[in-house]
Amino acid sequence: MKRGLFCLVALLLAAGGCGDKSATGAASGTAAGGTTGAPVSARPAQAPPRPKEPPRGPRKPADPAVMKSFHAERCHVGLLTLGLARTAYEKSMGKDRPGPKIPDLGAPEVKMGNPAHLYLRLARICNVAGAADKPPHEELDKALHAAVEVGPPLAQALSDAGDYYTKKENEKDDFAKGRELHTNIKKGFEKLDVVTKGVGDALPSWHKEFPPKLEAAPAQKSHLIVMRAKAVFEAMLAGKDAAEIDKLIADVVTATDELDAATKDLKGDAYAAYVPKAARTFIERAKAAAADKKIPNLVSVGSGVGSLFEAENNAYKQDISGYVPPDPEADNPHHGMH
């Protein structure tokens, strides 16, 4: 009996010892590995507060005259570039229709996609320019309305032709669609000179009546870059000598450097954000075309001028939005055409 009680006590003590050991192990495990201990809250950690957006002032309405100038100038560049497409097309085809000949559309090569789409990108702005009735200007408005009827449809036909030949659809329909496009393209080419001259002749009187009001250096210098770039393109189309073209390109380089200098301390400046990059791309293309006056190189220059007008337009629209840089020490960059 005594022996039985002794064994029972021994068993109870052993069980208690095991329990203590387990508890001790759990405690030591918590200290060593940190896998147990105080319960972790199921509530997710609070997300950090979102950064405050920079304050914005009241948005100024865009000046209709400024916007109309952008669109009219870009339309003119698009029409001039379509003239290069005509030269390439007619040289490649002569009096023949497509099949088996494939027309040369004059567009620079692209890594993928339709190279002739750039004509549509450049010329369809004529639709916007033609719809800009404020402020009215009889000569320019008449010229732009005529351009709407020629430039965008011709550019669309060239783009469609580029897509058609890029996809080799002529091999499937024996040039049927190519001949249909050829008819539309030729009709557009016949009217192109008249509308191009109309817009080009009207722009000087428009600018005289509605000169851009450039109040700050970045806007002034950006506009100078764009107009000098257009002068380079027009000089190339007119067949000016190499020395004159090199000088005009150098003028664009100088104006771009001046814009960089004027905006280097203006954080968040809209013109610095858009124009210099487009200007450097244009300069590179212009130098290539000056060295080799192949039509695709000249088309690339025209595309570069169009991109510069677009960059200036984007900078102007951002500039009037009232954007204030988040850095309180930064100079207020609000300036532009008003």
Q: Examine residue 3 and state whether it is found in any structural domain, yes or no.
A: no
Q: To the nearest 10°, report the CA torsion of 47, 49, 50, 52.
A: 180
Same domain, 144 and 255: no
- What does the pLDDT average to over 156-179? 97
Same domain, 86 and 201: yes
Query: Which of 183, 211, 239 lies at the terminal end of a domain, its last residue?
Result: 211
pLDDT category at 214 given cuts 50, 70, 90 is confident
More confident residue, 29 or 47: 47
Query: Which of 193, 211, 229 lies at the terminal end of a domain, its last residue?
Result: 211
More confident residue, 53 or 280: 280
Q: Put residue 74 in one of left, alpha, beta given phi > 0 → left and psi -120 to 50 → alpha.
A: alpha
Q: Examine residue 295 and state whether it is found in any structural domain, yes or no.
A: yes
Burial class (CB in 10 A: 0-12, 13-18, 19+), 39: exposed
In this prediction the pTM is 0.79
Q: Examine residue 315 and state whether it is found in any structural domain, yes or no.
A: yes
Same domain, 168 and 221: no
Same domain, 258 and 206: no
Same domain, 224 and 170: no
Q: Examine residue 11 and state whether it is found in any structural domain, yes or no.
A: no
- What does the pLDDT average to over 206-234? 93
Q: Is the pLDDT of residue 59 over 50?
A: yes
Q: Helices 64-93 and 217-237 sit at what angle, rounded to 10 degrees?
A: 20
Q: What is the pLDDT of residue 285?
A: 98
Same domain, 89 and 182: yes
- What does the pLDDT average to over 191-210? 98
- What does the pLDDT average to over 276-297? 98
DSSP letter at 109? Answer: P
More confident residue, 10 or 271: 271
Range in 20-24, 141-145, 155-159, 221-225 the model is least confident about: 20-24
* Amino acid letter for position 322: G
Residue 250 belongs to domain with CATH number: 1.20.120
Domain extent at residue 220 = 213-321+332-338
Q: What are the CA-CA distances from residue 152 to residues 148, 159, 192, 198, 270 (Å)?
A: 6, 10, 11, 16, 30
pLDDT category at 60 given cuts 50, 70, 90 is confident
- What does the pLDDT average to over 181-209? 98
pLDDT digits (tens, 9 = 90+) for 97-109: 999 999 999 999 9
pLDDT digits (tens, 9 = 90+) for 324-334: 343 333 333 33
- What does the pLDDT average to over 257-279? 94
Q: Is the pLDDT of residue 200 over 50?
A: yes
More confident residue, 58 or 74: 74
Q: Examine residue 45 and state whether it is found in any structural domain, yes or no.
A: no
Q: How many domains does the chain have?
A: 2
Measure the N-to-C terminal CA separation of the chain; round to a whole number of Å: 112
Range in 33-42, 57-66, 187-196, 248-257 the model is least confident about: 33-42
Range in 119-123, 184-188, 210-214 the model is least confident about: 210-214
pLDDT digits (tens, 9 = 90+) for 3-14: 444 444 444 444
- What does the pLDDT average to over 311-330? 67
Q: Examine residue 269 and state whether it is found in any structural domain, yes or no.
A: yes
Q: What are phi and psi of 149, to 5 degrees?
A: -75, -15
Q: Examine residue 127 and state whether it is found in any structural domain, yes or no.
A: yes
Q: Which residue has the tokens 């002068």?
A: 231
Alpha helices (runs of H) in the chain, residue ranges in sequence order: 2-33, 64-93, 117-123, 125-131, 138-166, 170-173, 176-209, 217-237, 242-263, 270-291, 295-319
Angstrom distance (rounded) from CA 130 to CA 137: 11
More confident residue, 21 or 138: 138
Same domain, 121 and 219: no
Q: Is the pLDDT of residue 39 over 60?
A: no
Q: Examine residue 94 and state whether it is found in any structural domain, yes or no.
A: yes
Average confidence score pLDDT of the chain = 84
Burial class (CB in 10 A: 0-12, 13-18, 19+), 102: middle
Burial class (CB in 10 A: 0-12, 13-18, 19+), 23: exposed
More confident residue, 59 or 183: 183
Q: What is the pLDDT of residue 48?
A: 55
Same domain, 114 and 224: no
Q: What are phi and psi of 134, to 5 degrees?
A: -125, 135
Query: Which of 178, 211, 244 lies at the terminal end of a domain, its last residue?
Result: 211
Same domain, 175 and 222: no
Same domain, 81 and 143: yes
DSSP letter at 239? Answer: T
Same domain, 176 and 243: no
Same domain, 239 and 142: no
Q: Is the pLDDT of residue 87 over 50?
A: yes
